[in-house]
A and B are shown apart, each in its own frame.
Chain A
Amino acid sequence: MDSRTEAEFAEFMRGRWSALVRLGYGLTGDERLAEDLARAALARVYASWPRVLRAGDPDVYLRRIVLNASLGKVRGRRVRKRRTGSEPEPETAPAARVDGDRPALVTALMRLPAGQRSVVLLRYWMDMTEAQVAAVLGCSVGNVRSQASRALASLRVGEDAAEEVSL
């Protein structure tokens, strides 16, 4: 990569970094993990930067990497948990916000299946259209619609359940 392309990538990275970390946090509920995800995704984009630019929309590629990587991390942690029978040691330093002081919305998001969580974040936080979400997730618009609807229903039910418990 020549210096001009390096500078181009650095500018792209600085422009996406914050949003990517926040997306990662919404997906994992863990700030450190979110930073790791964002860094790894950007490294992968760097590795194929000319191809990503030729493809036209680097943001779609970047978000897809973060979403897939977050699914992989979640699956990896589940597998380790099943094998050891206990909560696995975090790969990175402990997160600043752990379950106790995690915002209620993030806790509710973590209860959703990964697909629904991705749809909620892309559709309602990143304000993407259903077609754009479908393009990022590689599924149909109908699937996005149904996932969003189920996620909203789950978040409402979760809220009701939380209220019942507090009473």
Chain B
Amino acid sequence: MSIVDEQDLRVQLDAVLDAISPPEAPVGAAARKGKVIQAGRSLGIVAGLAIVAGIGVGIPALLNRPALEVSRARPTVMVQQTCMTVPTAARGTAISPELVAERAEPRPAADSPRGGLPAAAIAAGGCAWLRP
């Protein structure tokens, strides 16, 4: 092989490649393969759209999910009476012991599981449950 210049290369390439005699063009086979490629692309597009739609529907649904329903049953709260004196903030109020005695529900000792104070004792200056 000897290549003199570009023109020589052209001539040699022509000679070598033109010696190849390809068979008949396989139009049918290429078209069939092309259809398979098309189908694959369509499937890919559909799958992609389905994923996008899934994300579009799923994420807002997750974000806007209603809060878990709160139980409507009344909670039971146990309060222990610890003070027997009037809170400091309430000391200055002008409520007479008589008024307190009027508003205070007299709780008989038998009603209260832990005993309780008679209304009069509450009125005298202890802690009290007041009714509005």
- Residues in A with CB closer than 8 Å to B13 are 26, 105, 120-121, 124-125
A124 to B20, Cβ gap below 8 A?
no
Q: What is the size category of the interface that chain B forms with chain A?
A: 20 to 34
Residue A42, interface by CB 8 Å:
yes
Complex contacts, A77 vs chain B, CB 8 Å: none
Contact check, B9 vs A9: say whether CB atoms are below 8 A apart.
no
**Which chain B residues border A40 with CB–CB below 8 Å?**
33
Asked if B27 and A152 sit within 8 Å, CB to CB, the answer is no
Interface SS majority for chain A: helix
User: Does A145 make an interface contact (CB < 8 A)?
Assistant: no
Which one of A35, A46, A106 lies within 8 Å of B23 (CB-CB)? Answer: A35
Would A120 and B9 count as touching, CB distance under 8 A?
yes
Cβ-defined partner of A124 (8 Å) among B6, B19, B31, B36: B6
Contacts of B36 in A (CB 8 A): 43
Contacts of A159 in B (CB 8 A): 1-3
A80 contacts partner chain B, Cβ-Cβ < 8 Å: no
User: Would A42 and B17 count as touching, CB distance under 8 A?
Assistant: no
Q: A44-B37, A152-B9, A155-B3 are in contact. Are A39 and B26 (CB under 8 A)?
A: yes
Contact of B29 among A23, A39, A106, A127 (CB under 8 A): A39
B10 at interface, CB cutoff 8 A: yes
Q: How many A-B residue pairs have CB under 8 A?
A: 91
CA distance A130 to B105 in the complex (A): 107
* A46-B16 CB under 8 A given contacts A17-B22, A124-B6: no
Would you give 21 A-B contacts (Cβ < 8 Å), ordered by A?
A: A6-B31, A17-B22, A22-B17, A25-B20, A26-B16, A35-B22, A38-B22, A43-B29, A44-B34, A46-B31, A46-B34, A47-B38, A47-B41, A104-B1, A105-B1, A105-B12, A124-B10, A125-B10, A125-B13, A125-B17, A152-B9
Using a CB–CB cutoff of 8 Å, the interface residues on chain B facing chain A are 1-3, 6, 9-10, 12-14, 16-20, 22-23, 25-27, 29-31, 33-38, 41
